[in-house]
Amino acid sequence: MWVQIAIMVASYVLSVALAPKPPQQKPAAFEDFDFPLFEEGEPKTAVFGQCWSKSWMCLTVGNYRTRRVKIGGGKK
């Protein structure tokens, strides 16, 4: 029984050590997004908060960050 457990542990360690590492994906840049643009002369509406709109066009979308968010350790 102990021999089988040792073989199982050894095979697990060997499979983890020899497994191929997944390639690191580069984070999405702002240029990777393709947002629809307004045409000249089209009326624009400013909305503050949440609302339903009949138009599918949105002037701004989200808060895209270019720097990594740093979070503290929670010390007081």
pLDDT in tens, 28-64: 777 777 766 667 777 777 777 777 777 666 666 666 6
pLDDT in tens, 55-72: 666 666 666 666 777 777
Which DSSP string corresponds to the chain?
A: -HHHHHHHHHHHHHHHHHSPPPPPPPPPPGGG-----PPTT-------S----S----S------SSPPP------
Any idea where the domains of the chain sit in the sequence?
28-76
